[in-house]
Chain A
Amino acid sequence: MSIFEYNGSALVAMVGKNCFAIASDRRLGVQLQTIATDFQRISKIHDRLFLGLSGLATDAQTLYQKLVFRHKLYQLREERDMKPETFASLVSALLYEKRFGPFFCQPVIAGLGDDDKPFICTMDSIGAKELAKDFVVAGTASESLYGACESMFKENMEPEELFETVSQALLSSVDRDCLSGWGGHVYVVTPTEVKERILKGRMD
């Protein structure tokens, strides 16, 4: 079994009209055994920037701690929050530093940039950025997520419709993946508010 499939994960981020959604599953497993059904894979960096980390959970936690540390330093020095594009470059650089002994994570970054323009990106475990205009996926359920998102995505969705679309795509995709599931966490972020919702899906 690949090291990326040790814990199991599903992550998706989607762009809407002046908003974005980022969603993950809730399962934490050790190969075939489930050990937690409320695992948080998505973390807030600041009010307009969210980071999801799929892959090996221990590396995801360490990487998250390093990134929070770097962002706090940035805030102290620059007296402002990091822009999503800048944060993405930071994550990419941190990952490439470990080029020959990498973190076994695939991050998904979603944020609102200047003029409230939504920004999403993903990268591989050594920091190769993939900027997308529509959606990005990561985790053991990534192939299923590609199929579901590609079929369900529409441009310029309002926050409520975006939430429905992301939720349906996430739940259908994790239902076809043994290593991810046990519900979902969905964050829908607009310039004025952040709505966190928990989905109930198949509990298996």
Chain B
Amino acid sequence: MAKQHANWSPYDNNGGSCVAIAGADYCVIAADTRLSTGYNILTRDYSKICKLADKCVMASSGFQADVKALQKHLGARHLIYQHQHNKQMSCPAMAQLLSNTLYYKRFFPYYSFNVLGGLDNEGKGCVFTYDAVGSYEKVGYSSQGSGSTLIMPFLDNQLKSPSPLLLPAQDAVTPLAEDEAVDLVKTVFASASERDIYTGDKLEIVVINAAGLRREYIDLRKD
């Protein structure tokens, strides 16, 4: 007889979308605040964004229980790093740590689709995009989550990143100004909320620049 399969899954998808855009001296990270399961909304006010270090912020969509565990793990590792090195982790360093942490659970993964955003050691914006098992890439912009298939083509159209295969190596950061990038993020989430049932309620935008970290909330469609 055929092998019997479990009708219980350890995973669930809580929906939502995340976006990050890197600029010359800033980084914008945004995510909606809807937490859902199946066709139900659990809350309209859930933050998917987590500050991992001074200049490093992660937005994650997928299974939020795994996301919470991942954030806790990374926070603990960052604290140890600070004790050992007497400084905050840089964004590229955190990027590598996140990749290794995800791959550690290669055969029972964190169901977490992440974008990491922040400033590198020179103060330039950087965005790293991941899959669930830790494959990552430094990019100029990225989106993850239920609305990502709707959002990515439009970001491609507006921000077209140069190919990493080009020589000489071209900058991945966008020439957009900080306020233009924030407006683009608002437009993109307004469109995604129209067509994706799991995206909506409120939009949380985090902007990191030389001055520090700034948070903004915008209302989205609640249906």
Q: Which residues of A contact B (CB under 8 A)?
A: 143-148, 150-152, 168-169, 172-173, 175-176
Contacts and interface: CB of A to CB of B under 8 A. Distances in A.
B191 A144 contact: no
B187 A144 contact: no
A169 B13 CA distance: 29
B151 interface: yes
Interface string B150-168: 1111101100000000000
Interface residues of B, number: 15
SS class of chain A's interface: helix, strand, loop or mixed? helix
Contacts of A147: 147, 149-154, 191-192, 195
Given A144-B149, A146-B150, A147-B151, A172 B191 contact: no
A176 B152 contact: yes
15 contacts: A144-B152, A147-B147, A147-B149, A147-B150, A147-B152, A148-B153, A148-B157, A150-B150, A150-B191, A150-B194, A151-B154, A151-B188, A169-B157, A173-B153, A176-B156
A122 B107 CA distance: 42
Nearest to B156: A172
Contacts of A169: 153, 157
A176 B191 contact: no
Given A175-B153, A175-B156, A176-B152, A146 B195 contact: yes
A143 B197 CA distance: 12
A172 B151 CA distance: 11
A143 B149 contact: yes
Given A150-B195, A151-B187, A151-B191, A143 B150 contact: yes
A175 B157 CA distance: 10
A143 B148 CA distance: 9
Interface in B136-182: 147, 149-154, 156-157
Nearest to A143: B149
Contacts of A168: 157
Contacts of A150: 150, 191-192, 194-195
Contacts of A152: 154, 157
B153 A172 contact: yes
A150 B193 CA distance: 10
Nearest to A170: B153
Contacts of B187: 151
Interface in B35-56: none
A148 B149 contact: no
Contacts of B188: 151
A169 B157 CA distance: 8
